[in-house]
């Protein structure tokens, strides 16, 4: 008697992706092979998420399943014409920029100078071999490693961006990690991976940038669909501080699914600024675990989309110890037929007494067909806490536009001025002046 086992399209598609992603590792090592194989075993038990799952019910991945992606051979990446990365670099990071092309390190495009000797900025192949055992204690050790896209990234891990600040090192110069996708003959998948370790008492500023080689404009297609599946792990040890800005500006026909996982030790501080501009479909999971008391977490997010874009932001902040604080503000501007999704969760268990947590999602809809699905959540079992959450959805007020027009502005300038005021609260918190200025210009120049 034979038993028929049906394979769903989601399972079959994930299996094909897994086979593609496991090809062409840049770095070979026994411990790395073991890590890849363990992750692949997890992937083989899973499937691409569907709208039947609560965490994905607002984000339909059916358009992703319609494209057959192929991994790019690492040796073919540097064989083409040199890329012009000037539209993506920042004056503040001119001497400290790591560039990855289709997920693979490009040393000829990277510059790392003027940094303290106590900080390492490079890829896995350059990481000192004597310190590999220390790296193994951090890589792929964040909670949530068995989530399907995270495990897929680990199973296909073929290169790694590493930023490591040793104990009590203060890195005043911002560091940029630039990931560029390029035009290929077929739709491609690339899986960038970052590991950031700020040891006790250290401080660093990090800019993480995702773009395509189309002059830095998220409204221009790359001629072929492509898929970026990205994972960043950040470890903030005791009394350390990390300022992190993540800028997603993929091309108009790109798919982008990313995760930022942060573990914060006692008295540490993490400030995250998440900007979402590009991609046909994007999803960013922000996951924070406070693993010590007196920990401070700040998350600022800005999504600006139009046309047929879908941008999904999911965040989860887990406070497990007393005297923790978290503040989150996420703003969305949605135009055309675009759709934004925000789902923010804050967990305050019984042991997290004296927690102070706030969460607010504010949304601005600029057309009749623009849509936002917002779901801020608090789960509290501790009884001595101060927590708040909320969401607002609004449009540009006709009275405000009329008032500005009465002061001499035309309608377009009046609308742009109100939009600029809406985004300023987020952009003013970005510590990189040139990036904040560019994003402000982008908010004004896009067609709303």
Predicted pLDDT at 401:
87
Between 4-18, 147-161, 427-441, the lowest mean confidence (pLDDT) is in: 4-18
Helices 9-21, 148-155: axis angle to 10 degrees equals 30
Look at 101-110, 210-219, 312-321 and tell me which has the smallest mean pLDDT: 210-219
Domain shared by 206 and 65, yes or no: yes
Q: What is the pLDDT of residues 265-277, one digit of tens each?
A: 999 999 999 999 9
User: Which of these, 130, 127, 272, 262, lies nearest to 196 by C-alpha position?
Assistant: 262
Residue 378 covered by a domain: no
Query: Taking Cα atoms as reference points, which of 393, 351, 359 lies closest to residue 374?
Result: 393
Q: How confident is the model at residue 24 (pLDDT cuts 50, 70, 90)?
A: low
Q: Look at the chain and report how many structural domains it folds into.
A: 2
Domain end, chosen from 291, 321, 341, is at 291
Predicted confidence at residue 282, as pLDDT, reads: 97
Say yes or no to pLDDT of 152 above 90.
Answer: yes
Percent of the chain with pLDDT strictly greater than 90: 71
What pLDDT digit, counting tens, does each position of 402-443 carry? 888 888 888 888 888 899 999 999 999 999 999 998 888 776
Based on the fold, state whether residues 258 and 122 are members of the same structural domain.
yes
In terms of residue numbers, what domain contains 408?
A: 401-448
Domain limit, last residue, from 256, 291, 326: 291
> What was the pLDDT predicted at 446?
54
Same domain, residue pair 252 and 108 = yes
Classify residue 373: in a domain, yes or no. no
Contact 423, 432 (CB under 8 A): no
Query: Most confidently modeled of 192-196, 215-219, 250-254?
Result: 192-196
Rounded to an integer, what distance in angstroms lies between the CA atom of residue 321 and that of residue 183? 47
Closest CA to 22 of 31, 35, 12, 10: 35
Give the residue-averaged pLDDT of 175-198.
92
Give domain status of residue 310, yes or no.
no
Is 317 domain-assigned? Answer: no
Pull the structure tokens for residue 367: 């057309």
Mean pLDDT of 333-356: 94
Confidence of residue 74 (pLDDT cuts 50, 70, 90): low
Provide the whole-model pTM. Answer: 0.93
Burial, 35: exposed, middle or buried (Cβ in 10 Å; 0-12, 13-18, 19+)?
middle
Name the domain boundary from 274, 291, 308: 291
Average pLDDT, the chain: 90
Establish if 342 belongs to a structural domain: no
Question: Quick check: 106 and 97 in contact, CB under 8 A?
Answer: no
Residue 287 lies inside a defined structural domain of this protein = yes
Position 2 confidence tier, pLDDT thresholds 50, 70, 90: very low
Helix, strand, coil shares, percent, the chain, to 5? 25, 35, 40
| Bigger pLDDT: 344 vs 79 | 344
In a domain, 422, yes or no: yes
C-beta atoms surrounding 413 within 10 Å? 13
Q: What is the mean pLDDT of residues 21-34?
A: 80
**Can you name the residues that pair with 222 across neighbouring β-strands?**
none
Write the DSSP assignment of 378-438 as a string of letters: EEE--SS-EEEEEEEEE---HHHHHHHHHTT--HHHHHHHHHHHHHHHHHTT-S-HHHHHH
**Short-list 219, 254, 220, CA closest to 69:** 254
Q: What's the rounded Cα separation, in Å, for the pair 83 and 55? A: 38
The burial class, CB within 10 Å (0-12 / 13-18 / 19+), for 173 is middle
Residue 174 lies in a domain: yes
Collect all residues with Cβ–Cβ distance below 8 Å to 81 and sequence separation of at least 6: none
Query: Which has the closest alpha carbon to 418: 404, 430, 406?
Result: 404
Task: Answer positive or negative: Cα dihedral of 52, 54, 56, 58.
Answer: positive
Q: Is the predicted pLDDT of residue 22 greater than 80, yes or no?
A: no
Residues 272 and 410 grouped into a single domain: no
Report the length, in residues, of the chain.
Answer: 448
282 and 428 share one domain: no
Give which of 32, 19, 64, 11 is closest to 193, Cα–Cα: 32
């Amino acid at each position: 008697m034979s038993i028929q086992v049906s394979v769903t399209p989601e399972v079959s598609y994930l299996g094909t992706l897994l086979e593609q992603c496991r090809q062409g590792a840049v770095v070979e090592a026994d411990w790395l092979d073991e890590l890849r194989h363990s992750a692949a075993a997890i992937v083989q038990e899973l499937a691409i998420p569907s709208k039947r799952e609560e965490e994905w019910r607002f984000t339909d991945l059916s358009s992703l399943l319609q494209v057959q992606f192929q991994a790019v051979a690492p040796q073919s990446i540097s064989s083409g014409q040199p890329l012009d990365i000037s539209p993506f670099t920042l004056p503040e990071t001119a001497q400290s920029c790591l560039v990855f092309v289709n997920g693979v390190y490009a040393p000829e495009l990277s510059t790392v100078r003027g940094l303290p000797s106590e900080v390492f900025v490079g890829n896995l192949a350059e990481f000192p071999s004597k310190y590999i055992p220390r790296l193994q204690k951090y890589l792929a050790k964040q909670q949530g490693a068995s989530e399907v896209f995270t495990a897929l990234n680990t199973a296909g891990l073929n290169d790694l961006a590493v930023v490591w600040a040793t104990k009590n090192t203060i890195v005043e110069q911002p560091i940029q990690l630039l990931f560029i996708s390029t035009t290929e003959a077929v739709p491609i998948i690339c899986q960038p991976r970052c590991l950031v370790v700020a040891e006790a008492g250290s401080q660093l500023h990090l800019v993480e940038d995702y773009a395509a080689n189309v002059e830095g404009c998220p409204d221009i297609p790359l001629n072929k669909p492509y898929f970026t599946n990205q994972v960043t792990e950040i470890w903030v040890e005791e009394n350390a501080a990390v300022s992190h800005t993540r800028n997603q500006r993929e091309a108009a026909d790109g798919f982008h699914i990313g995760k930022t996982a942060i573990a914060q030790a006692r008295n540490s501080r993490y400030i995250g600024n998440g900007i979402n501009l590009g991609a046909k479909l994007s999803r960013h999971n922000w996951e924070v675990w406070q693993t010590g008391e007196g920990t401070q977490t700040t998350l600022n997010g800005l999504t600006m989309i139009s046309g047929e874009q879908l941008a999904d932001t999911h965040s989860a902040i887990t406070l497990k110890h007393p005297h923790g604080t978290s503040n989150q503000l996420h703003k969305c501007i949605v135009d055309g037929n675009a759709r934004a999704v925000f789902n923010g969760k804050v967990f305050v268990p019984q042991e997290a007494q004296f927690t102070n947590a706030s969460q607010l999602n504010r949304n601005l809809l600029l057309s009749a067909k623009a849509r936002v699905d917002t779901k801020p959540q608090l789960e509290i079992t501790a009884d001595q806490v101060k927590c708040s959450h909320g969401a607002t959805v609004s449009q540009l007020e006709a009275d405000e536009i009329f008032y500005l027009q009465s002061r001499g502005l035309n309608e377009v300038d009046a609308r742009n001025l109100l939009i600029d005021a809406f985004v300023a609260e987020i952009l003013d918190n970005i510590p990189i002046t040139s990036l904040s200025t560019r994003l402000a210009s982008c908010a004004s120049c896009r067609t709303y």
